[in-house]
Structure 1
Amino acid sequence: MAPKMVTNFRRSLSFHNHTSHNSAKPKKTLHARSVSLPCPSHPIIFQLRDKIDGLNDWAASESGLRTSGWLCDGLIRMKMVHDSLDDLLQLPQTRESLRGGGHYPDLMEKLLEDFLRFVEVYSMFQTLVLRFKEEYSAAQIAVRRRDDSTIAVHSKNLNRIGKEISNLVCRFHSTGKQIMPAGSSHDEETELIEVINDVIKVTIAISATVFGGISNSSAFRKPCSIGLSFKKKGKSEEGIRELEEINLDDLSGLRKKTEEDVKNVSKKMHEMEDCIVEIEGSGERVFRSLINSRVSFLNVLTQ
């Protein structure tokens, strides 16, 4: 998907022209402010900071009741943050500032590296969610057939997928550790770098919440580890409610269950699969938005 181009943003101030016949004071001269850099009052800067604040509020708002809807809302909010960043990167004055690199000569190289890491991690996340969906679909067939041995295989596979999702956060260890040089003056270029740095920080923080919420759900954990995990890791590591509904290891002995019991389990698994599809779609939107942002950074160097 080609990054969208933002062409022109103009601001104007209008004043009522009150004619005064008895004023002897000379009129003040209004000086037009330079727009060589996106200043702090630029609409896109305001929009981007507002979306970052909204994403931080989302992370703080959950009261221990994490749902798939809450998770997808966070992913969509993160997509909106990166869409606004992409809008900012389309401005000619933004590109001029980033190319100059007066405060930080290696800025573009580090930004390109960071956003490549984001793209790689969310590509892996999409692959893992797809594997999760495929394993779960196959497990539903095994449940209908009351095939305990096949269900046990899928349970082990899901456990491995959960561990791989939780390990995605570790790939951010070298991301976002620069950007502000010590002692730099607070000018317009610094404001631009600060807001980009805030985008990187919130992306890492929210990604950790998303990956942790999924991987710590009981769909990926052994029954014996559930209680211990909650006690040690606390609220910040709680799982997603819908992904807590079914643990395949709890489904042993299906041949002894009634037909009604099997139908109820199949219904819950189908509902859980719908949640997985929603998470997959939201993650895909974030992934594409991250690609757009990195392409825009590349265009800063090439256009």
Structure 2
Amino acid sequence: MKSKMAVSRFHFRSISLPSRLHPINTPKTENQLQKLKSWQISNSPSQTPPITSEAIQFGLLKLAELYNSVSLLHQDGKSVEKSLESSVELLDFCNIIRELIMTIKENVQALQSALRRKGLDCSIQIDINTYFSFRKRMNKIIAKSLKKNKNFENKSGPTGVLSEVGGATLDIFKCILMFLSSKSGGWNFVFTKSVDASVISEMGSVDFALRTLLGKFKNNGAKVVDIQNLRRKLQNFEACLEEIERGLERLFRQLVRSRVALLNVLTDHLK
């Protein structure tokens, strides 16, 4: 990243379709692709705020509309085979991210439970440090997943709307992974003396509140209001994760339906 507070630009492949794919290149599909491109621009590094759960939810919604607008009529066999191969990887990738979110949510819930039980008891510091240790392990998994995403993006294949849809799906996956990453979510800001809340994502906001609480415990300045504030942030973050999780579940079902449709088209080509 060029800046710790920057969000990487997500590039969409340019659309250039041969005439034989015209039945797929419908105005509705083009419109949905343009909406996703607008979403991409709104998350560019030229803007200060990082990726938020709201932006991700909007991106998932536009992606769902894009999948619903695509037709496989008159698609050539080579493109179908390539898209069919990619569909397996997209399904696998979607599952990896879903599992990551479920694991994070479980750890957030565990921390919430500890806060309810212990309150201002100094032993809560152990639970906070346990959460941070988990986040560090998770970051390694996310880094590997981002690398996998990059390798997938670099694979060459036939151009067309199906390729565009696959590229858009990968961009959404990248966006979610960056949202879940400490490095882009606010981890790097927690050691500063003052932080503008507008430049921290929901996850980064939790990180900052946790670090602040640890500092207050160290100086014997922790108060009940600090615990209450942290609990609100954790509840908000959990709700954000649940919304993204639901969006990914819908996307997973769409990816399954898309794969079935591709298999049917390929079967027709082989007849």
2:127 partner SS: helix
Of 129, 133, 136, which residue of structure 2 is paired with 1:156? 133
Partner of 1:178: 156
Residues 1:203 and 2:203 aligned together: no
Work out whether residues 119 and 287 of structure 1, in 8 Å CA contact, stay in contact via their aligned partners in 2.
yes
Partner of 1:123: 95
Of 248, 251, 261, which residue of structure 1 is paired with 2:213? 251
Q: Shift in Å at residue 175 of structure 1?
A: 4.9
CA distance in 1, matches of 2:112, 2:188: 18
CA distance in 1, matches of 2:241, 2:152: 30
CA distance in 2, matches of 1:156, 1:126: 21
Partner of 2:32: 51
Partner of 1:19: none
CA distance in 1, matches of 2:233, 2:176: 22
**Structure 2 CA distance for partners of 1:174 and 1:257, relative to 1, 3 Å:** closer
Work out whether residues 55 and 77 of structure 1, in 8 Å CA contact, stay in contact via their aligned partners in 2.
yes
CA distance in 1, matches of 2:242, 2:25: 32
1:168 partner SS: helix
Q: Shift in Å at residue 58 of structure 1?
A: 0.7
Partner deviation per Cα, 1:254-278 (whole Å, 9 max, x = no partner): 8852222212221222122111211
Partner of 1:22: none
Residues 1:67 and 2:35 aligned together: no
Work out whether residues 165 and 211 of structure 1, in 8 Å CA contact, stay in contact via their aligned partners in 2.
yes
Q: Shift in Å at residue 148 of structure 1?
A: 1.4
- The amino acid across from 1:142 in the alignment is A
**Structure 2 CA distance for partners of 1:284 and 1:204, relative to 1, 3 Å:** same
Q: What pairs with 1:273-284 in structure 2 (closer than 5 Å)?
A: 273-284=238-249
CA distance in 2, matches of 1:240, 1:199: 30
Q: Shift in Å at residue 178 of structure 1?
A: 3.1
Partner of 2:179: 213
CA distance in 2, matches of 1:285, 1:299: 21
2:26 partner SS: helix
Partner of 2:226: 261
Q: Shift in Å at residue 39 of structure 1?
A: 5.8
Q: Shift in Å at residue 45 of structure 1?
A: 2.1
Number of residue pairs matched by the alignment: 229
Q: What pairs with 1:288-299 in structure 2 (closer than 5 Å)?
A: 288-299=253-264
Q: Which has the larger radius of gyration?
A: 1
TM-score (norm 1): 0.66
Residues 1:77 and 2:62 aligned together: yes
CA distance in 2, matches of 1:201, 1:261: 43
Percentage of pairs with the same residue? 24
Residues 1:272 and 2:237 aligned together: yes
Partner deviation per Cα, 1:7-66 (whole Å, 9 max, x = no partner): xxxxxxxxxxxxxxxxxxxxxxxxxxxxxx9763x4862211211111011110243334
Unpaired runs of 5+ in structure 1?
1-36, 181-192, 228-237
CA distance in 1, matches of 2:96, 2:200: 20
CA distance in 2, matches of 1:295, 1:175: 23
TM-score (norm 2): 0.73
CA distance in 1, matches of 2:48, 2:257: 33
**Structure 2 CA distance for partners of 1:288 and 1:222, relative to 1, 3 Å:** farther
Q: Shift in Å at residue 123 of structure 1?
A: 0.4
- The amino acid across from 1:280 in the alignment is E
Partner of 2:86: 114
Unpaired runs of 5+ in structure 2?
1-18
Q: Give the number of the structure whose residues are more often helix, by fraction.
A: 2
Partner of 2:10: none
Work out whether residues 243 and 272 of structure 1, in 8 Å CA contact, stay in contact via their aligned partners in 2.
yes
CA distance in 1, matches of 2:199, 2:226: 25
- The amino acid across from 1:243 in the alignment is M
What is the RMSD computed on CA atoms of the aligned residues? Answer: 2.9
